[in-house]
Amino acid sequence: MPTEERAPLDVVIVGAGVVGAACAYYATRAGLSVAVVDRGPVAGGTTGAGEGNLLVSDKEAGPELELALLSTRLWRELAAGLPPEDAVEHELKGGLVVAPDETALTALRAFAAGQRAAGVVAHEVPPAELAALEPQLAPGLAGGFHYPQDAQVQPAKAAAALLRAARHRGARVRLGEEVTAILTGTAGAVRGVRTPRGEIHAPAVVNAAGTWGGRVAELAGSHLPVLPRRGFVLVTEPLPPGLIRHKVYAADYIADVASGSAGLQSSAVVEGTPAGPVLIGATRERVGFDRTLSTEALRRLAGQAGALFPVLADAHVIRTYCGFRPYLPDHLPAIGPDPRVPGLHHACGHEGAGIGLAPATGLLVTAALTGAEPPLPAEPFRPDRFPPPDGTPATPGAAS
């Protein structure tokens, strides 16, 4: 039977992944009344397929790095402040980026110099000292950089914990309920959403729908060119504790993250887990929402992980899974109000960094909803910076 929210709401958030959960958390903390709506379960999309990376090491100096540094601090605060039953498995494990040769090491030095100027802690590690950080690393590497700020959370737990905290402050969470329309008034301003169960009225809607963010924008008559970028992860059998101590990856991973190529790219990112299995990512390719198992992608990952850590060559892979990163062409998320549709806000397009960037995104969205001073400049993340599909210019004044 159709239902309608009786009590007035300030905002409806579309999406119960970690970004939507962070928006709900900070919005309710600011005193707003909130409903979160998702067609599936909590963390049922990209969040549930993520590794929980909280990385600064892979981001060059600029707006995304500023967002990541703020989020790194906020995740520490959340991990310390959430109740014990809502532990998010926050691990300050640090990252280690390694270079196979002097050319790659020189590029890493230049990359790290720009990051340091922006506030990142990065220590160069000479070849002879790599084994002290990671005893199982392959010999012959030219060196690397240690990033102690890199960390990890369990993504599904993190999303659930943030939503529970929002619920304790009055948020309503409606799962298994697809948003089929964004309601607008005669002047074009948002006035809520429609689902198969009825209408939910609010003067603001936050699009935190991940890879489906473009579709939600269309429902409101706007445009956001979010595309899915598929990635695979290998999971090994449980291995001895401490076998892999940090999040370790080769320098070419940074180039893969920044690339706009639609073709298959892979660069091993290797990390242990508290339970023992080792996680091995990461591939990237734009193939729509195709979940077909790619033996080529898995073969590349396994080979690259074995080249980094020879001990993994004999480890058994017990499962593999894939997910879809919400990709935007300039590799920056869309965060904040959409000037084309009053009352519509976006919080999507984070690609593979959404878990790490979620808290700062939630703060930025909440600042826009309440009229507060944003915690950092929001201009680079303007949702209207992309031209519409007919090729006409983006909204005047939008960032290019």
Over residues 344-389, the pLDDT tens digits come to 999 999 999 999 999 999 999 999 999 999 999 999 999 999 988 7
Band (393; pLDDT cuts 50, 70, 90): very low
Which H or E run includes 295?
helix 295-308
Band (391; pLDDT cuts 50, 70, 90): low
Nearest alpha carbon to residue 253 among 107, 62, 38: 107
User: Is residue 322 over pLDDT 60?
Assistant: yes
What domains sit in the chain, N to C, each tagged with a CATH number? 1-91+150-225+328-400 (3.50.50.60), 95-148+227-327 (3.30.9.10)
Dihedral pair phi/psi, residue 254, rounded to 5°? -60, -40
User: Is residue 229 over pLDDT 90?
Assistant: yes
How does pLDDT run across 48-79, given as a tens digit for each residue?
A: 988 889 999 999 999 999 999 999 999 999 99
As a whole-number percent, the residues of the chain with pLDDT over 70 amount to 94
| Least confident span in 66-75, 110-119, 263-272, 319-328 | 263-272
Q: Number of helices (H) and strands (E) in the chain: give both, helices first.
A: 9, 19
- The CB-based long-range contact list for 117-126 (8 Å cut-off, 24+ gap) reads 117/61, 118/61, 118/62, 118/65, 118/66, 118/69, 119/69, 120/56, 120/57, 120/65, 120/69, 120/147, 120/149, 121/147, 121/148, 121/149, 122/57, 122/146, 122/147, 123/148, 125/96
User: Is residue 84 over pLDDT 80?
Assistant: yes
Nearest alpha carbon to residue 367 among 29, 16, 9: 29
Question: Do residues 355 and 50 make contact, with C-beta atoms less than 8 angstroms apart?
Answer: yes
Helix (H, G, I), strand (E, B) or coil at 250: strand
Higher pLDDT, 258 or 140: 140
Band (275; pLDDT cuts 50, 70, 90): confident
Q: What angle, rounded to 10 degrees, do the helices at 18-29 and 354-370 form? A: 30
pTM: 0.93
Average pLDDT rounded to a whole number, residues 135-142: 96
- Whats the size of the chain, residue-wise? 400
User: Is residue 45 over pLDDT 70?
Assistant: yes
User: Is residue 260 over pLDDT 80?
Assistant: no
